Amino acid sequence: MTSGALRERVARLREQLEQHNHRYYVLDDPLISDAEYDALFRELQQLESEHPELFAADSPTQRVGAAPLPEFATVFHRQPMLSLNNAFEDGEVAAFDRRVREAVGAEHIEYAVEPKFDGLAVSLVYEDGVLARGATRGDGYSGEDVTANLRTIRSIPLRLSGKAVPRVLEVRGEVLMLRSDFEQLNRRQAERGEKTFVNPRNAAAGSLRQLDSRITAARRLSFFAYGLGEVEPRPQLDSQTQVLDFIGKNGFKVARERDRVRGIPGLLGYYRRIGELRPELPYDIDGVVYKVDSLAWQQQLGYVSRAPRFAVAHKFPAEEATSVVLGIDVQVGRTGVLTPVARLQPVFVGGVTVTNATLHNLDQVRAKDVHEGDTVVVRRAGDVIPEVVRVVVDKRPAQVRRFEMPEQCPVCQSRVERIESEAAYRCTGGLYCPAQRKQALLHFASRRAMDIEGLGEKLVDQLVERDMVATPADLYDGGRLTAEKLAGLERMAAKSAENLVTAIDRSRRTTLARFIYALGIYHVGEEVAKILARHFGTLDALLAADWEELIAEKERLQKENVKRRAKGMQEEEPLLAGIGPEIMRSVANFFGQAHNLEVIDQLVRHGVSFAAEERSGGGVLSGKTLVLTGTLPGMSRDEAKARIEAAGGKVSGSVSKRTDYVVAGSEAGSKLEKARALGVPVIEESGLLDLLQSGAEK
C-alpha cells in the first residue's frame, strides 16, 4: 500500500468503526454483526501497530484504556457545574412554577422535562470536534481529569459528528452503568471472588475513578448528555429542546424519555408517567428534572447561590420496605460515640439488600419505640445509610425487652458516659479503645497537640492496620517504630522515615497543656487544657485530683453565686473558671479509666516530659490572680487584662482571699474596700507595670 492509500484506509476504518459504535451504543440499532465489527477493528489495530506514526488519540482503538496514571490531575471548570434545587411535594413544584411565571411575566410556561439520572456528572470538552478533556464534577468548580477513562466509554464520541462543529464545545451529562451491565459485572466479580458493588451508581463511580483506564474499559459504562457548558462560537439555539437535539446530532445519547410539557399539570403528569416507567428503565433514576425550555428565559431567571432558578429536580420518595429487627447492636464510631444499630432480616430496598439500619441514638430508639422482634419500616434514599422509619406496632410480639445502652464500651469495656448536652453516649477509653485508635493517634500527633510532623492520616492508617501501633504510648516505644520498620511502609522513603523518628523523639519534650490536650479527652480543647495545666501545675497533681469533690465544690459555688448575684452581693471566686461541671465530669470519666491511666503511665515511662509553659510575656505572673478596679490612667481595662494574661496571670472580677493583687485606678469602689478588709495588696498602675517587668513576688 502506498502511504497515501494507507492513510486513507486508516481514516476510513476509523470513521466506519465510530459510526458502527454510534449505531450500537448510542442508537441501539446496529447495522453489522459483532463479527464484522471485530474484523474491521482488528484490521485497524494491525495497521496502527505497524505504523505507529499514524497514532491518533481519537482512534476507536484507543478505547481499550492506557497505562495507569500516578494520580488524577485537577481540572478547573471554565463554567461552574452547579447543582439543582430539589422538590419533593407537588406544592413545591407549584411554587417553582409560580416563581418562574412571576419572574418572566408569562401565564403558562413550557418546560423541557427529563429523567434525573442517578450517576456521576462529568464534563466533556471537544476542541475542533475532537474529545480533548473530560472531568468529574468534583466540587463544581474543579474536578478530576478522567479523560483516559472517559475515552473507554463507547457512548462518548471521540469525534463530534455534527455538520458545523464549534471550535470549543463542552457537553455535560452523567456517566452511569446500565442495570444489565451492573448485574453482569457483579456476577463476574462474584465468580472471581472479587468485591461486588451495592448498586449501579457505586459501580459507575468505582469504575470511573480508576487510575488504570484498562480497568474502566473492562466495565461497561454509559454516558447520557443533558446540557452544554462552554460553547465557542455559540450556535443559534433557542430552547433546551433544541440544545438536546443539537447534542444528539453530534453523536451523544440523550434520554429517550425526554419531553416538552406545559404548566403544572404537564409537570406532574410527566412525574407520574416516569414514576410508573421507572422499574422498566434500563438505568436508575432518582427523580425527574424540569427546565424552563426557553433559553432566553433561562438567562433572565439566572441563578441563586449554587443552583439555577430556571430548573428544579422533582425527586422520587425514598424507597421503603418492612423487615424484622433481629437484634439491636451498638457500634462505636471513631470519635467514641455509641450508635444503636438494628440488625435486620435481609430486605431488598432502594436497589440493595439491607441487613442493618441505623437507629441514630437512644432518644431515637425511645421515640420510635423500637425493640428486638419488632416489625419495622426501613427506608433507604440514595447513598445514605438505611434507617428505621417506624415500628408496625400491631405486629409486636407479646413479650419485648426494652433496649438499654450498655454501661461498658462493647469494643474496649471502658465506661460509657452520657453527654447530656448532645443526647449522646460515648466510650471514655479514648486512648485505648480499638474503635478510636486512628482518631486518637491523629489527634495526639496534631500540630497543636504533640506536634509530630509527618504523622498524618495515611501513615496512621497503615500503622494501626499493621498492628505496629495501638496507643499513643507505642509511638515512643523505641523498639516498635525504628526508621527501618517505617521505611517498609507505603509512600515512605528512608529519609522521611528518619525524619519521622526524629520528629517523634523531639515531641517527647512538651508542655503539660499540650499533653492534656493531646489526650483527646472529650470536651477538652486547647483552652480547657491550658486552664487545667495552670491549675494543677504537674501531671501528678492532675492525676491525683479528687474529681468528685471538685465537681461538688464547683456546683456548690455555682449555686452560691446565683444567690449572691440575685442579692447584688460580691460573687465568690470561681473554681477552675471556664470549666463547667459537664467538662469536669468528662475529665473525671477519662481519668477514671484504668486503660487510659496505663497509657499515660507508659507515655511518661517512655520519656514524655514537660517544660514550663511557653508564654510570650515570659510568664512572670504565672499562677497569680489580679482584680482590676476603677479607671487606670495609662491603659484601658482590656489592655491591662491582655497584658496580665500575656504574662501568665489571671484577671478575676471579684476580690477574695485568693486574690494576689488588686490594681486600683481612680474612682475605685467596693472592690478596694474588700481588698483592704481581706488584707489583699493594693497596687496602682505603676505597680502593675513594675510587676509586669520584674515579676515581683507577693
Between CA 50 and CA 398 the distance in angstroms is: 79
Part in contact with ligand IVH (CB under 6 A); list of ranges 116-124, 341-349, 573-581, 687-695: 116-124
Do 639 and 632 meet the contact criterion of CB atoms below 8 Å apart?
no
Own/partner pairs for 195-198, CB < 8 Å, 24+ apart?
Answer: 198/351, 198/352
83 binds ligand IVH (CB under 6 A): yes
Q: Provide, rounded to whole angstroms, the least separation between the CB of residue 226 and ligand IVH.
A: 4
289 binds ligand IVH (CB under 6 A): yes
Do 120 and 175 meet the contact criterion of CB atoms below 8 Å apart?
yes
Comparing CB distances to ligand IVH, the nearer of 185 and 288 is 288
Binding characters for ligand IVH, 147-176, by CB under 6 A (x = yes):
---------------------------x--
* Residue with nearest beta carbon to ligand IVH: 121
Torsion angles phi and psi, residue 266, rounded to 5: -65, -45
Between CA 429 and CA 555 the distance in angstroms is: 26
Comparing CB distances to ligand IVH, the nearer of 272 and 495 is 272
Part in contact with ligand IVH (CB under 6 A); list of ranges 9-17, 112-120, 126-134, 600-608: 112-120
284 binds ligand IVH (CB under 6 A): no
Catalytic annotation, pick one of 116, 368, 530, 674:
116
The one among 25, 117, 126, 270 contacting ligand IVH by CB under 6 A: 117
Residues 387-406 that bind ligand IVH (CB under 6 A): none
DSSP-assigned letter for residue 651: E
Between CA 154 and CA 177 the distance in angstroms is: 12
Q: Is 33 left (phi over 0), alpha (psi -120 to 50) or beta?
A: beta
Q: Provide, rounded to whole angstroms, the least separation between the CB of residue 260 and ligand IVH.
A: 14
DSSP-assigned letter for residue 53: G
Binding-site size for ligand IVH (CB under 6 A) equals 14
Between CA 20 and CA 308 the distance in angstroms is: 37
Q: Provide, rounded to whole angstroms, the least separation between the CB of residue 163 and ligand IVH.
A: 25
Part in contact with ligand IVH (CB under 6 A); list of ranges 82-90, 330-338, 482-490, 527-535: 82-90
Alpha-carbon distances of 489 from 106, 444, 446, 481, rounded to whole Å:
66, 21, 20, 11
DSSP-assigned letter for residue 357: E
Residues 618-677 that bind ligand IVH (CB under 6 A): none
Between CA 168 and CA 232 the distance in angstroms is: 5
Comparing CB distances to ligand IVH, the nearer of 89 and 404 is 89
Concatenating the DSSP letter of every residue in 485-497 gives HHHTSTT--HHHH
Q: Provide, rounded to whole angstroms, the least separation between the CB of residue 27 and ligand IVH.
A: 19
Part in contact with ligand IVH (CB under 6 A); list of ranges 35-43, 113-121, 144-152, 349-357: 113-121
Alpha-carbon distances of 648 from 48, 105, 449, 624, rounded to whole Å:
76, 67, 20, 8
Say what the alpha-carbon torsion angle 448, 450, 453, 457 is, to the nearest 10 degrees.
-80
Q: Provide, rounded to whole angstroms, the least separation between the CB of residue 11 and ligand IVH.
A: 35
Q: Provide, rounded to whole angstroms, the least separation between the CB of residue 201 and ligand IVH.
A: 11
The one among 48, 97, 114, 685 contacting ligand IVH by CB under 6 A: 114
Comparing CB distances to ligand IVH, the nearer of 301 and 501 is 301
205 binds ligand IVH (CB under 6 A): no
The one among 10, 75, 84, 672 contacting ligand IVH by CB under 6 A: 84
Considering Cα of 280, then 284, then 287, then 290, what sign does the dihedral take? Answer: negative
Comparing CB distances to ligand IVH, the nearer of 83 and 499 is 83
347 binds ligand IVH (CB under 6 A): no
Q: Provide, rounded to whole angstroms, the least separation between the CB of residue 288 and ligand IVH.
A: 8
Grid coordinates representing 540 are: 501528678
β-pair type (285-292, 311-315) = antiparallel
Residues 482-541 that bind ligand IVH (CB under 6 A): none
The one among 227, 336, 340, 429 contacting ligand IVH by CB under 6 A: 227
Catalytic residue at 116?
yes
Give the containing element (helix H, strand E) for 379.
strand 375-380
Which residues are CB-contacts of 467 (< 8 A; sequence separation ≥ 6)?
Answer: none
Do 622 and 695 meet the contact criterion of CB atoms below 8 Å apart?
no
Alpha-carbon distances of 476 from 73, 429, 447, 455, 594, rounded to whole Å:
38, 20, 17, 13, 20
181 binds ligand IVH (CB under 6 A): no
63 binds ligand IVH (CB under 6 A): no
Comparing CB distances to ligand IVH, the nearer of 83 and 300 is 83
The one among 137, 159, 360, 437 contacting ligand IVH by CB under 6 A: 137
- Which amino acids are annotated catalytic? 116
Contacting positions for ligand IVH (CB under 6 A): 82-84, 114, 116-117, 121, 137, 174, 226-227, 289, 308, 313
